[in-house]
Structure 1
Amino acid sequence: MVLAIVVAAVVLVAAALWSGRDPDSTASGRTVVGLRVWDESFVPRYRASLDEFERANPDVRVRITVVPWSSYEQKLRLDLAGGTADDLFWSSSYAEYADAGRLLEIDESLGPRRAWDPASVAQYTRAGKLWAVPQFVDGGTAVYYNRDLLAAAGIDPASLNSLRWGPGADDSLTPLLRRLAAVAPSAYNAGHDFQSVELPYLGSAGARFRDGQGDFVFDSTEAISAFEYLVGLIRDGLAPSPADTNTDSDFAKNAFLQGKLAMFQSGTFNLAQIAEQAEFGWGVAMLPEGPAGRVSTNSAIGVAGNTDTEHPEATRRVLRWLGSAEGTHDLVANGATISANVGQQAEYRDYWSDHGIDVTPFFDVLHGPKISSGTAPGLNSALRAIDPIFGEMYAGRLPVPEALPRARAAAEDAVQK
């Protein structure tokens, strides 16, 4: 009898989960909507926001699932194909899912577009339709610097805002890094960082990663000059070893937090952690300028809806909430990130200004040209194919003029497959 009761309970729990409800919600008749993210630090913020949503919508419960970034895209692709993906999920590369009919069309689901950041709306627009609710924007790329190490090298932080990189006499970045290398284990995080290093260097060299038709074009003459410059900084001992950075995407950030890296080129997504953990004076400077100017990325994170959801009406209600200023208030409070709602973006600047941090370099750089990874399908597959080739290039085992065409061919092959 006991065994029969246990078996019956297991069957009921399984049936509840299969139907999109958990056991606690079944009794109350609440529909469970799943939300998938890749950053665990945002779970308490989402929980605070969604608790408010649930108080106003007592028939819906939102369950948050965290899948680490390292496996996020691969698992999402498999789950969407297998029909086991969450109702809602963070997305940065969405084109192949939109083309395959896997995503809810936002305007059709929610009505006219809200007051979202125009760049984020453009990022998630394909074939004239919006495919995700813009949630956060990164702002531009800038350079975090260690004031103590700059002082030890006799460098005025204000001079960082006029740095230039490039061949010949125009290069003021390399001489400055040599001075920093004399007082720090590493001067600068030149290396394999797609968003914060490689794309800005490609753009400021006058190159692109992908053209308007979605073709990979990162092996041009200008692109070769950009990567040869980065590889040269590593070869000269001005950046951390590729043996560390090729295998650990957080190595440079951690080295900066440990006081072992003088200049860390990155985005606002690391600002809160640096502010909390850095035990030395630091600041933010403008991105170095290249032959084609100062060029940054301007990426956003969106929340996409799964067309296979068993609860379309409840899913749309959650999407509408997450796209509103009320729904994102808890998500962006205390300078955690920049809201995609334009009306909330001043709060971010004000918060950090009140804490003595000038974040204008992240925004001023966006007044100039910007570079995108492209919205065509297959980006993540392409980046996985490129990784080992770039690893060999940064390690000095593969010349840049040979590595880039090989990486482009690998990217094209990955997309075709």
Structure 2
Amino acid sequence: MKDSTRAVLGITLAAALLIAAALWLGRDSDGSGRTVVRMRIWDQSFVAAYRASLDEFERANPDIEVRITLVPWASYAQKLRLDVAGGIADDLFWTSLYEDYADSGHLVDIGQALGPEAARAWDRFAVEQFTRNGTLWAVPQFIDGGSAVFYNRDLLAAAGIDPAELNAARWSPDEAADTFRPLLHRLRPVAPWPYNAANDFQSITLPYLGSAGGSFQRDGQFAFSSPQGQQAFGYTVRLVADGLSPSAADTNTSGDFAKNAFLQGRMPLFQSGSFNLATIHENAGFGWGLAMIPAGPHGRISANNSIGVAGNAASEHPDAVRRVLAWLGSAAGNRYLGVDGVTIPAVTSEQQVYRDYWARLGVDASPFFEVLRDGQIAAGGGPGFPAALEAIDPILDEMFLGRIPVPRALDRAQQAATEAADQR
């Protein structure tokens, strides 16, 4: 055989092997005739619950295998954008800020796929979050519930404060009506910082803004630079300036500073969400409990963020994707997320499962639910929203450091958010 013939045959064989490998890697089946559906999430702590749920699904649907892809939160958003644009995203993926994908036609229409009645089983706030222009774009998976105040029983006792006082506390720009700041002053002798006011979007910013009667967005436009916004931010910035909360030099650079201070017994009151409940239960070396957040001029208003699973409109096996979405949105499929107290299921009939789990451990989780009775403040969204939040953060950081007066900082932040969103 001539050398040239060997070369041609070698190239042909190599090409055939490459084609075969490509077909194998991109196959819709695992070789057993089953369709492989891939679902992308960002939190390792959910893998076990999802695996148990999906194992039950696969037993009832032996023609489908669902594989979980874990992409760390730090790189999740950027990688998802690149993969969706490149046409290589997973068949299903977690999302909270979905609008850009919906507007560009990359998501499955949930109402069309599962029928208009499916949404009745899900938390109404979650359904509202994932509905855009009358179309539902994700199957809600879990909610955070509202914010609550974790408290250290020992430090409260040392300050002579009954936990019931926390549930009656009110914050107000009117010092004569404000009972929360005086309560924090009573705690100063027992800990370096009584409370965790900071540039914390979900746990501090939104509850204070909402309970002042303000909104983060209104009619699709940023609206936090308002008289209500000045009241809310002015109050929390002053708590930092007065030493009733840690310095922004610490909290701006570490999102875990306040949580760690609470766990170390250096902060008696820590306002946060259900996403920190398991960590505190596992790591607090002291007696603790949960109380309501302080009420504001318009009552107790909190955010209730949700995570949903979206279907990739470019999936090569849409029927399998539809069946998995239907399972993840069902009571039987969704309850696994609450059985071990991982999170609050978005299927309302299964939320008691979560509460029962924590009740067995002696934890009353009701403040996360009761705080929503007065209403909820929307976290916001829309095209370019992630870029807007990135533009806002450094300005608010400077405000909490005391370097920019509150009114000027809010005006500057709102303008920066609008410009960032417009340039998406």
Using the TM superposition, name which of 43-52 and 195-204 deviates more: 43-52
Residue identity matched to 1:171 = D
Q: Does 1:46 align with 2:53?
A: no
Q: Does 1:362 align with 2:368?
A: yes
Shift of 1:405: 0.9
From the superposition, tell whether residues 392 and 8 of structure 1 become closer, same or farther in structure 2 (CA, over 3 Å).
Answer: farther
Larger Rg: 2
Residue identity matched to 2:69 = T
Secondary structure of the corresponding residue to residue 128 of structure 2: helix
Give the conservation status (yes or no) of the 8 Å contact 1:208–1:371: yes
Q: Does 1:223 align with 2:226?
A: no
Give the conservation status (yes or no) of the 8 Å contact 1:288–1:294: yes
Give the conservation status (yes or no) of the 8 Å contact 1:139–1:268: yes
Shift of 1:14: 4.3
Structure 1: state its 5+ residue gaps. none
What is the aligned-residue RMSD (CA, Å)? 2.1
State the distance in 2 between where 1:79 and 1:224 align: 40
Q: Percent of aligned pairs with the same residue?
A: 60
Question: What does the per-residue CA deviation read over 1:192-250, in whole Å, with 9 as the maximum and x for residues that have no partner?
Answer: 11111100111111211000x21001111220121111111111111122222212222
Q: Does 1:335 align with 2:334?
A: no
Partner residue of 2:4? none
Q: Does 1:210 align with 2:214?
A: no
State the distance in 2 between where 1:18 and 1:372 align: 40
Shift of 1:404: 0.8
Give the conservation status (yes or no) of the 8 Å contact 2:45–2:342: no
Secondary structure of the corresponding residue to residue 390 of structure 1: helix
Partner residue of 1:16? 24
Partner residue of 1:271? 277
Give the conservation status (yes or no) of the 8 Å contact 2:144–2:343: yes
Shift of 1:291: 1.6
State the distance in 2 between where 1:8 and 1:150 align: 73
TM-score under structure 1 normalisation?
0.93
Partner residue of 1:63? 67
Shift of 1:259: 1.9
State the distance in 2 between where 1:84 and 1:187 align: 48
Q: Does 1:182 align with 2:186?
A: no
Give the conservation status (yes or no) of the 8 Å contact 2:90–2:312: yes
Residue identity matched to 1:179 = R
Residue identity matched to 2:113 = S
Secondary structure of the corresponding residue to residue 65 of structure 2: strand
State the distance in 1 between where 2:188 and 2:71 align: 38
Give the conservation status (yes or no) of the 8 Å contact 1:91–1:304: yes
Give the conservation status (yes or no) of the 8 Å contact 1:162–1:288: yes
Shift of 1:159: 0.2
Secondary structure of the corresponding residue to residue 145 of structure 2: coil
Partner residue of 1:146? 152
Using the TM superposition, name which of 238-247 and 155-164 deviates more: 238-247
Structure 2: state its 5+ residue gaps. 1-9
**1:163-174 alignment, distance < 5 Å:** 163-167=169-173, 168-174=175-181
State the distance in 1 between where 2:70 and 2:422 align: 30
Match of 1:93 among 97, 110, 127: 97
State the distance in 1 between where 2:14 and 2:154 align: 63
From the superposition, tell whether residues 315 and 225 of structure 1 become closer, same or farther in structure 2 (CA, over 3 Å).
Answer: same
Using the TM superposition, name which of 202-211 and 64-73 deviates more: 64-73
State the distance in 2 between where 1:54 and 1:232 align: 55
Secondary structure of the corresponding residue to residue 310 of structure 2: strand
Secondary structure of the corresponding residue to residue 194 of structure 2: strand
**Count of matched residue positions in the alignment of Structure 1 and Structure 2:** 411
Give the conservation status (yes or no) of the 8 Å contact 1:164–1:290: yes
State the distance in 2 between where 1:60 and 1:217 align: 46
Q: Which runs of 4+ in 1 moved over 4 A?
A: 3-14
Shift of 1:20: 5.1
Residue identity matched to 2:246 = P
**1:395-406 alignment, distance < 5 Å:** 395-406=401-412
Q: Does 1:411 align with 2:417?
A: yes
Q: Does 1:261 align with 2:267?
A: yes
Residue identity matched to 1:299 = N
